[in-house]
Amino acid sequence: MLKKLLVLLGVFCIIFCSANNNTDVPQVNGGDTPGETHKKLALLVGIDDYKVVSDLSGCINDVRDMKDLLINNFEFAEDDIMTLTNEEATHKGIVDAFRSHLTAKASAGTIVVFHYSGHGSQMQDAQDGDEQFDHLDETIVPHDSRTEGKYDIRDDELNGLFNELTKKTKYVTFILDSCHSGSGIRGLGIPRRVEADLRKPPPAEPYEVSTRGTSKKDNRFENLNYVLISGCQAEEVSFETILNGVRRGALTYYLVKEIREANKAEITYQDVMDQVKVNVTRENNTQHPQIEGKLLNNYIFSDKSNVTVPYVPASGKGDNVILEAGLVHGAVKGSKYYVFKPGTKNFDDPDEALADIELTATNAFSSEAKIIKFKKAKNPGDILQASRAVEYEHAYEIETFPIYFLQPEDVKDYFPETSITLTKPDDSDTLKKTASEIGKKPHYVIVKKGNEAQLLLAEVQGKIKIYRNSGQEIIDSAVSTNAAGAAASVMKQLEHWSKWYNVLSITNSKSKYLEVELEVKGITNTGNREGTETMRVPTQQFTHEDEINFIVKNTGNKKLFFVILDISSDGSIAVIHPKTGDGEALLPGKNVDITDQEAFVADNYREVTDIIKVIATDKQLNFKFLEMDAASARDLATKGIDDPLTRLFKEAALQSTTKGVRPKALDEWVTTESVFKVTRK
């Protein structure tokens, strides 16, 4: 089978624009002084606090994370990055800043980034019917929108602004972490969407440009050459959720994460988005990112020399070292770093490091570390401001698994089209016993909001049922409240799914020496499936009994051993190659084509989603212990396991009763994933 936990957070568009170099643009306020040039410019907008519509919580975190990426990984000058947050981000404020900070200052060759994180919506069409599909423009929602005389910024206005900008430079990246036309979809987190504004719209601005088709419902500016990355399909909704203990938009989070962790100097939008799509959909199975355009293989921000081995700015403070990376960046207490002098580009030789350090405390945006060993440095004072720290051992922490007990009043949100009746949890003996058992397990937590949970529990007509965070029932999960040991049976199912999620979540893309790629191809009985020439996109849909080929490539310079796991949305995990579970050897530059696979959907499912995970290691290990069928979780012992990576995966699968970190050298293993859906005909 095949699995896909797709969680799409927001209509997140990355538009990499290309146009001519004509410099005739409208005069705007706040232009450059004569002779001043700007190689890189960015405008970052984040709105958590709205005047009228519902507030959000993760948008300013998104702005901080993006700013950190641009400065520390792409060497943007801080003075060339303008941020607008909350009350600064009015309709006028955003438009004026775009024209004065970006358009007026740009010249041929300037790299420009515009990032918006906030609500998306729709409003009445002001362009005499260019929106023939539903007469609504897609919009972003400024801080002051929906107040008297204040409106959203519609797609035609954004298109006009970018049309002006791309007359001056072709290196423009446009990022929207918001949503637009989707509605009525539940998911893990808070939706970044408000209802359409149906007031009579103001007249269109002179610079607005409409090129929209009659049935396209996303921000696609068709007069430009671009890469368009949409955080969700047109009918879906973007979400923000808690990731690594901090609330933010998942699309921005995973985009930044993948760019930071890229360990090669040249990385394209396609390279990044292959993994971003997997990660986002894994978080929320009601959201599906899309990517299209002519420039999929252009380098991120059009500068192939900028992405180097990812590093974190660091500086000495007293007897310790402060790193400018925290929970937002995936920093974990117990992880180890080498610290190099400011300006270092090559981090391959640990003997050239100033010191070897270990994180002792983390908060949202920074961490504190103790010095394990001095190398080139003699004391903390030698670790100057803007030193560069590179992680070499990550302390993986098994995440606390959140569970929510559905209340009777949740019916209208999760099951609006049914007459289902939910028993109040306090009135259900089985749910109370289950809650008591959950409280004894350190890896579980009962949360107070459904949008913060991975799984939902409810008593429905004398049966305990388990639902995904989207409200989709897990098939065959119902346990009768009259059955002997009902609470124990429910706990067994929760243990199964928490193990499943944990195995899914363990990833590593930071190895400097191991590099592996996965290509998925589908073949039907009548020949090549339509579109196989673009099979790099990991969201191919298959039907039951289609033949599927997996091609694993060793793109690094070191021999590796790999296994392929099929992690299916029906709750199963299977080692599909090699069948023994032992890693198969693969030399540098070589491929293995696995042709004996068939798409499969069990009789009681209409469709399933599969995540195909490749685990590559520098020595042969066996991963057969990870297998479990859709109905049960295995009880595996970890005693006597000496290999740290095997123990890491086993403890993830077992939900070890001892919560803590599992250190693992990052260079010894690497993972990659692909997601696709399988349906019955």
Segment (H or E) for 23:
none
pLDDT value at 80 more than 70: yes
Position 528 confidence tier, pLDDT thresholds 50, 70, 90: very low
Q: What is the mean pLDDT of residues 150-172?
A: 85
Q: What is the pLDDT of residues 387-439, one digit of tens each?
A: 999 988 888 766 678 899 999 998 888 887 778 889 999 999 999 999 999 88
At 373 the pLDDT is 94
Rounded Cα–Cα distance for residues 25 and 511 (Å)? 46
Please indicate whether residue 13 is annotated as part of the active site: no
Q: Which residue has the higher pLDDT, 17 or 272?
A: 272
* Of residues 385, 391, 378, 381, the one with CA closest to residue 335: 391
- pLDDT category of residue 584 using cuts at 50, 70 and 90: very high
Mean pLDDT of 551-573: 91
Cα–Cα distance for residue pair 123/146, rounded to 1 Å: 10
Residue 497 has pLDDT above 90, yes or no: no
At 632 the pLDDT is 60
pLDDT of 363 strictly over 90: no
Please give the pLDDT value at position 228: 67
Name the residue with higher pLDDT: 285 or 465: 465
Q: Where are the alpha helices (DSSP H) in 224-330?
A: 250-261, 269-283
Q: Which residue has the tokens 């289902």?
A: 420
Residue 68 has pLDDT above 50, yes or no: yes
The answer regarding whether domain 14-23+35-302 maps to CATH 3.40.50.1460 reads: yes
Quote the pLDDT of residue 293.
57
Rank 19-23, 522-526, 630-634, 662-666 by mean pLDDT and report only the highest: 662-666
Indicate left, alpha or beta for 388 from its phi (over 0: left) and psi (-120 to 50: alpha). Answer: beta
Calculate the average pLDDT of the chain: 77
Catalytic residue, candidates 17, 179, 232, 288: 179
Q: Contact at 8 Å (CB) between 120 and 193? A: yes
For 373-383, what is each residue's pLDDT tens digit?
999 999 888 99
In the CATH hierarchy, which top-level class contains the domain 401-503? alpha beta
Cβ contacts of 189 within 8 Å, gap of 6 or more: 9, 239, 240, 241, 242, 250, 284, 451, 452
H or E stretch covering 403: strand 401-405
Q: Is the pLDDT of residue 48 over 90?
A: yes
Mean per-residue pLDDT, 480-499: 88
pLDDT of residue 434: 93
Q: Which of 101, 119, 329, 577 is catalytic?
A: 119
pLDDT at 2: 31
pLDDT grade for 642, boundaries at 50, 70 and 90: low
Helices (H), 166-249: none
Domain ranges of the chain: 14-23+35-302, 312-394, 401-503, 507-679
pLDDT band at 86 (very low <50, low <70, confident <90, very high): very high
Residues forming a β-bridge with 548: 522, 597
Residues 588-628 pLDDT 10s? 999 999 887 877 877 777 777 888 999 999 988 888 888 88
3-class SS of residue 87: helix
* CATH topology assigned to domain 312-394: Thrombin, subunit H (2.40.10)
Structure confidence at residue 442 (pLDDT):
76
For range 66-91, the mean pLDDT: 92
Q: Which of 20-29, 125-134, 485-494 has the lowest mean pLDDT?
A: 20-29
Check whether 371 has a pLDDT greater than 90: yes
Question: Bigger pLDDT: 388 or 632?
Answer: 388
* H or E stretch at 61: helix 59-74
Most confident of 25-39, 208-222, 279-293, 305-319: 305-319
Residue 133 has a pLDDT of 43
Asked if residues 126 and 137 have their Cβ atoms less than 8 Å apart, the reply is: yes
| pLDDT for the residue numbered 84 | 97
Question: For the domain bounded by 507-679, which CATH number is listed?
Answer: 3.90.280
What does 583-648 look like in DSSP terms, one character per residue? PEEE-TT-EEEEEEEE----TT-SEEEEEEEEEEESS--B-GGG-B-SS-------TT---HHHHH
Contact 630, 474 (CB under 8 A): no
pLDDT at 263: 54
Average confidence (pLDDT) over 664-679: 81
- 269 by DSSP, 3-state: which? helix
pLDDT at 23: 35
Structure confidence at residue 297 as a pLDDT band (50, 70, 90):
low
Share of the chain above pLDDT 90, in %: 27
pLDDT score recorded for residue 663: 61
Amino acid 604: pLDDT: 72
pLDDT of res. 299: 76
Distances (CA, A) of 487 to 269, 490, 635: 47, 5, 18
Indicate the pLDDT class of residue 55, thresholds 50, 70 and 90. Answer: very high
State the Cα–Cα distance between residues 399 and 453, nearest whole angstrom: 12
Mean pLDDT of 543-572: 88
Quote the CA–CA distance of 48 and 61 in Å, as a whole number: 9
Residue 14 has pLDDT above 80, yes or no: no
119 is an active site residue:
yes
DSSP per-residue string spanning 234-263: TT---EEEEETTEEEEHHHHHHHHHHHH--
Q: Spell out the residues 6+ positions from residue 384 whose beta carbon is closer than 8 angstroms to its own.
A: 315, 316, 341, 342
Q: 333: burial class by Cβ within 10 Å (0-12, 13-18, 19+)?
A: middle
Q: What is the mean pLDDT of residues 37-50?
A: 90
